[in-house]
Amino acid sequence: MKPPPFGYSRPESVADALATLARLGPDGKVLAGGQSLLPILSMRLAAPHHLVDINRLSELGYVRVEGGDVRVGALARHAQVLADLPARAAQPLLGKALRLVAHATIRNRGTTVGSIVHADPSGEMTAVLALLGGTVRVATTAGERDVPARDFFVGPLESAVQPGELAVSATFPVLPPRAGTAFVEVARRNGDYAVCGVGALVELDADGAVSSARTAYLSVSPTPLVLDLTDAIGSEPDFAAAAVAAREQVEPEPDIHASADYRRHLAGVLTERALREAHAEALERSGRD
């Protein structure tokens, strides 16, 4: 479990990093927190020619609330985002999901943007980005582009970031008024990737009726799955009906930890739990509890 030989650069600025990545093209690979990349290297599942270590790019180590978004720089660690009170106040789902990402030691190094670029369909932050309809800002020496979540996740462990590109930040829209969120999951052990997980965003209209109910799923699809359950839940909120609708739409695979049926069952149970919790929060935030 030792990586094969690789080249290594540690640029001191974003401009430097972009120039290095442009020069390396398909041979370059970004190293952020290393919490996913290093195990892959050590198990020799990948053999990139050259690592570009972005840990000196302190200019990307920010978490900001700007306009209608929380913007997270590429060097902001999970722990830093989790500890950022203004960001969590603006979008409470960030904190609810980040608590469930791995363990404290891994959150201290792993970056939120890195976990999104890594595009693991079991990653909490991929689901959060997809559910909230966030974006990822990707840069090259030629300029920057913003990629919306729905275009960002291409396949399991495959994102829209191309060789030579650096993801510099991700944005998460702030919570609208009269809305509530929840994130629930079942993991085999505390901090493990979830067997199934559900994030929920419920919005109410001025009369307190559900105007939008959306959910996002972990570990039941190749890319983050987002469902619009607004019709299923109805204005009355029928959480059980929403759970049935969710169960019918997920297509989980079995693995050594869980059967496909169990995952499907969990998708239903957790949908109901997440929607109830998000709905209760939305009511509370509308002053209607």
Partner 1 sequence: MTRMFGQPIPRVEDDRMVRGHGGYLDDLGHDALACAFVRSPHAHAEIVDIDVTGALDVDGLVAIYTYEDLPDRLADPLPLLIPHPALTEGRTQYALARERVNHVGEPVVMVVAQDRYVAEDAAERILVSYRSLPAVVGIEAARAATQLVHPDVPGNIAANMLQTVGDVDAALAAAPHILELDLSIERSASTPMEGRGVLARWDPESHRLRLWSSTQTSTGVRAAVASKLGLALVDVDVITPDVGGGFGVKIMHPWPEEVLVPWAARQLGRPVKFVEDRREHFISSAHERAQLHHVRVGFDRDGVILGLDVRFWHDHGAYIPYGIIVPMITSTQLLGPYKPGAYRVEFDSLYTNTLIVTPYRGAGRPQGVFVMERTMDAIAATLDLDRTVVRERNFIQPDEMPYDHGLLFQDDRPLIYDSGDYPTLLDKLKKLVGWDEFEAFREAARAEGRRVGIGLGCYVEGTGVGPYEGAHVVVEPSGKVKVATGLTTQGQGHQTVFAQIVADELGVPLSDIEVVTGDTRRFGYAVGTFASRAAVMSGSAIALAARAARAKALKVAADALEANPDDLDIVDGIVRVAGVPGAEISLGTLAVLANPLRYAFDDAAKAATQFAVGDTSKPPVGEDDEPGIEGRDYFSPMQSTFASGMHAVVVETDPDTAEIKILRYCVVHDCGPLINPRIVEGQIHGGVAQGVGGALYERMAYDEAGQLQNASFMDFLMPYVSEVPERIEIDHLETPSPLNPLGIKGAGEAGVIPGAAAFASAIEDAEGITITAMPISPSELFELRRRHEERSSP
Ligand X SMILES: Cc1cc2nc3c(=O)[nH]c(=O)nc-3n(C[C@H](O)[C@H](O)[C@H](O)COP(=O)(O)OP(=O)(O)OC[C@H]3O[C@@H](n4cnc5c(N)ncnc54)[C@H](O)[C@@H]3O)c2cc1C
Task: 62-66: list long-range contacts, CB under 8 Å, 24+ apart.
Answer: 63/87, 65/90, 65/174
> Which region among 15-23, 58-66, 147-155, 254-262 touches partner 1 (by CB under 8 A)?
254-262
Does the CA dihedral 286-100-185-119 come out positive or negative?
Answer: positive
Q: Looking at 71, 118, 137, 264, which residue binds ligand X (CB under 6 A)?
A: 118
Q: How far is the CA of 30 from the CAs of 80, 119, 209, 271, in angstroms?
A: 20, 14, 46, 35
Compute the distance between CA of residue 23 and CA of residue 15 in angstroms, rounded to an integer.
Answer: 12
Q: How far is the CA of 70 from the CAs of 64, 91, 129, 174, in angstroms?
A: 6, 7, 11, 6
Q: Which does 252 bind (CB under 5 to 8 A by kind): ligand X, partner 1, none?
A: none
The residue among 18 and 246 lying less far from ligand X, judged by its C-beta, is: 18
| Binding status of residue 218 toward partner 1 by CB under 8 A | no
Q: Which does 195 bind (CB under 5 to 8 A by kind): partner 1, ligand X, none?
A: partner 1
Q: Which does 35 bind (CB under 5 to 8 A by kind): partner 1, ligand X, none?
A: ligand X
Q: Which does 287 bind (CB under 5 to 8 A by kind): ligand X, partner 1, none?
A: none
Compute the distance between CA of residue 151 and CA of residue 172 in angstroms, rounded to an integer.
Answer: 15
Q: Do 123 and 167 contact (CB within 8 A), yes or no? A: no
Q: How far is the CA of 114 from the CAs of 110, 111, 150, 235, in angstroms?
A: 7, 5, 17, 38
| Binding status of residue 269 toward partner 1 by CB under 8 A | yes
Q: Which does 2 bind (CB under 5 to 8 A by kind): ligand X, partner 1, none?
A: partner 1
Select from 219, 215, 229 the least CA-distant residue to 262: 219
* Structure-token pair, residue 208: 């307190």
> Which region among 1-9, 160-168, 204-212, 240-248 touches ligand X (by CB under 6 A)?
160-168
Show the binding pattern over residues 150-189: x = contacts partner 1 (CB under 8 A), - = does not.
------------------------------------x-xx
| Binding status of residue 31 toward ligand X by CB under 6 A | yes
* Residue of closest CB approach to ligand X: 110
Q: Looking at 18, 81, 101, 198, which residue binds ligand X (CB under 6 A)?
A: 101
- The nearest distance, CB 29 to ligand X, in angstroms, is 5
| Binding status of residue 233 toward partner 1 by CB under 8 A | no
Compute the distance between CA of residue 202 and CA of residue 210 in angstroms, rounded to an integer.
Answer: 7
In the region spanning residues 92 to 121, those forming contacts with partner 1, defined by CB under 8 A, are 103
Compute the distance between CA of residue 234 and CA of residue 219 in angstroms, rounded to an integer.
Answer: 27
Q: Looking at 129, 130, 258, 278, which residue binds partner 1 (CB under 8 A)?
A: 258
Q: How far is the CA of 102 from the CAs of 129, 150, 180, 191, 271, in angstroms?
A: 17, 25, 24, 4, 22
Amino acid symbol at 201: L
| Binding status of residue 35 toward ligand X by CB under 6 A | yes
Residues that bind partner 1 (CB under 8 A): 1-5, 43-44, 103, 186, 188-192, 195, 256-259, 261-262, 265-266, 269-270
Residues that bind ligand X (CB under 6 A): 29-37, 74, 101-102, 106, 110-111, 113-115, 117-118, 123-125, 161, 166-167, 193
